[in-house]
Amino acid sequence: MPDVGTISPEVYIAMTNPLTSFDVFAFEVGRISSSALPVNLGARPVAETMVRKENLDRLLKEPIVVVALLGLEYHLDLRGENHVSIYIFKHPHLRSVIEYLLRDETGGDFFTWARGKLFGYSEDCIAEFIERLSL
């Protein structure tokens, strides 16, 4: 597992200083970090964040270190020409669940329910969402 010393000063400042001037990379570093926290605390099984494909190589070198330092895993899914979804999770079996649910983009009640559960939504919220889709 990498140590904190592998994070560049630029990434460390972007993650710890809210007054850092805004740039897309710093924003994406913050999103990855804030997505990882609820997963690490057990508040949700999986978190997803979407990043710009052009920043992916740089993000995989440094901010994903934060995910690894927390003992979490991630799965990448290409979303169109310009974006990649990063799914962050703690338990290894969730990788196969994520991969299975990503296979069917058409939806259906089962897939909507399963995705809702995967991201930590309550039964009531999922039921309300499915009802709205049906209208």
pLDDT for res 19: 54
pLDDT of 92: 93
Residues 74 and 111 in one domain: no
In which domain, by residue range, is 121 found? 104-135
- Answer yes or no: pTM beyond 0.75: no
The tokens describing 111, both together, are 């897939």
pLDDT (0 to 100) of residue 39: 92
Task: Check: CB of residue 46 under 8 Å from CB of residue 88.
Answer: yes
Tell me: do 10 and 70 sit in the same domain.
Answer: yes
Q: Residue 28 burial (CB < 10 Å; 0-12/13-18/19+)?
A: buried
Query: CA 75 → CA 48, 64, 81, 135, distances in Å?
Result: 9, 11, 18, 33
Q: Helices 93-103 and 109-118, interaxial angle, to 10°?
A: 150
Are both 85 and 119 inside the same structural domain? Answer: no
Return the pLDDT at 9.
Answer: 67
Are 17 and 76 contained in the same domain? yes
Tens of each residue's pLDDT in the chain, 135 residues = 345 556 666 666 666 665 544 566 777 778 888 888 899 999 999 999 888 888 777 777 766 777 877 889 999 888 888 888 889 999 999 999 999 888 866 668 888 888 889 888 999 999 999 898 875
Q: In terms of domains, do 114 and 90 share one? A: no
Virtual CA dihedral for 87, 93, 96, 101, nearest 10 degrees? -60
75 and 112: one domain?
A: no
What is the count of structural domains for the chain? 2
Residue 12 is inside which H or E element, if any? helix 9-16
Same domain, 83 and 112: no
